[in-house]
Amino acid sequence: MHRYTILTISLLSVTSCFACPGHVRRAANGTVTPQSYTVQTRIKPSVPTSNVAITNVRIWDGYRVHEPDTIFIEGEFIVKKLRTVDEVIDGANGILLPGLIESHAHPGSTKDLETLSSYGVTTVLNQNCQNYEYCSSMRGQTGLTSFFTAGLSAKAPGSSHANNSNSPLDTLIWSPSQAPAYVGNVFGNGSDWLKIVSEADGPDQATQNALVREAHSMGKKTNTHASDLESYIMAIVSGTDRPQHMPLDGLLNETMLDLMRSQHQYATPTMKVYYDVLHIPGAGASLGHPGITFDEGWAFVKQNVAAMHAKGIPILAGTDSTTPYAGLSVPFGSSLHDELWYLTEAGLSPQDALRAATTVPAWAYDLPNRGAIAHGMRADLLLLQPNADPFKAINDTKKISRVWVGGLEYMNLAGNSSATQ
């Protein structure tokens, strides 16, 4: 077993209002609690050199589960065969899945990466970088969930997101002419994609269009936050690659759905956070819709997801999980398993839901060695318990036996290899 020790040092701390997904997370008295980001460091083990054979596992190839077989790990990667085997692990006839990919989250520490790892979430896509030094420090944490990130979100002066995050004026954008400098700064600081915030008082259509166009001219991709119908339509029209969240105040029409499909856009509904927030009394105000009820908002979210899926628009599984504050907590790791359930409630099959957390985000985010179990792929693996069958009951993904992240079996400091043990 490969074990590691975590060491966190407070080198730099920044505070911001976490203002995603269109709802600002406020306490009951209306105050905003800022989220802190502390630059991370930890003791990293060397890259594993042992050769591992996991026997008697039923491998899911993205479409079906195969008869019991053996999978070989050499260092960080899956290989077809090994000359020598250092360790043999009996999979006990359990189903072996690729490590899950969380497509919308906001981890704030390596402790959050530990939690994600324990639930078999081996890749996380951070959807707003408030501090580039912090984001850089979260990358490449050996033995823990891989961290990829957006840059600082593009917000308009005076907008809800800008006001509630106390954003300095020089971090905002209000004109299409600023797009080259803004986009250049985001990618110059090592971000993996650009994040735009589309909201009622956010960047206008011309500015959103310019941001997307500039990113594409650099060979980069964009995500756009949008949780109301008008803002979501603006995101679609801009040509952004991956709209985030889902309209909760109306239904997208056929024209917009056809445009999404023709532009090869991916959707990340984040159903989990909507389900949780809409159950909080008075939460409609923080979502920008004071009068909306759970039944109304949830029905629109589900119907929009169902319509996209029926149209063939690829769906990605993301939760908007973050550290607890302001009276709301969408937990890391376990929430992604809940998201799979909500996606099936919206009409996706268990296979489609699992692809939304494996192969589809790997394609959408250009992660060529993740999301599948095959020779040459990164050894990110989730082994389920022998009695688990998520294709009959999607919640069985929570019945975790063991997890490997880049060839290292995840072990927390208590010596447990998964969140369920």
- The tens digit of pLDDT for each residue in 321-336 reads 988 755 667 999 999 9
For the chain, the domains span: 99-364
* Res 420 pLDDT > 70: no
Q: How far apart are CA 99 and CA 108, in angstroms?
A: 21
CATH superfamily ID and name for 99-364: Metal-dependent hydrolases (3.20.20.140)
Q: What is the mean pLDDT of residues 145-154?
A: 97
Per-position b or e across 205-215, b if 16+ CB within 10 A of its CB? eebbbbbbbbb
Q: Identify the three-state secondary structure at position 232.
A: helix
Contact 162, 172 (CB under 8 A): yes
Q: Identify the three-state secondary structure at position 347.
A: coil
* Res 268 pLDDT > 70: yes
Q: How far apart are CA 186 and CA 78, in angstroms?
A: 34
Higher pLDDT, 169 or 58: 58
Q: How far apart are CA 40 and CA 59, in angstroms?
A: 35
The four Cα atoms 160, 294, 231, 309 give a dihedral, to 10 degrees, of 140
Q: What is the mean pLDDT of residues 109-121?
A: 96
Q: How far is CA 169 from the centre of its chain?
A: 28
Peptide bond into 21 cis (omega under 30): yes
Q: How far apart are CA 115 and CA 142, in angstroms?
A: 14
* Res 397 pLDDT > 80: yes
Q: How far apart are CA 260 and CA 328, in angstroms?
A: 32
One-letter identity of residue 91: G
Q: How far is CA 232 from CA 83, 244, 248, 380, 406, in A?
A: 53, 9, 10, 33, 36
Q: How confident is the model at residue 145 (pLDDT cuts 50, 70, 90)?
A: very high
pLDDT at site 25: 42
pLDDT at site 414: 39
Lowest mean pLDDT segment, chosen from 8-17, 144-153, 294-303: 8-17
The 10s digit of each residue's pLDDT in 39-53 is 777 756 666 668 999
* Res 411 pLDDT > 80: no
Q: How far is CA 23 from CA 26, 160, 225, 328, 395, in A?
A: 9, 9, 11, 11, 27
Instruction: Enter the pTM of the model.
Output: 0.90
| Intra-chain end-to-end CA distance of the chain, in Å | 16
Q: How far is CA 259 from CA 193, 246, 305, in A?
A: 22, 16, 15
For the chain, the residue count is 421
Q: How far apart are CA 95 and CA 109, in angstroms?
A: 30
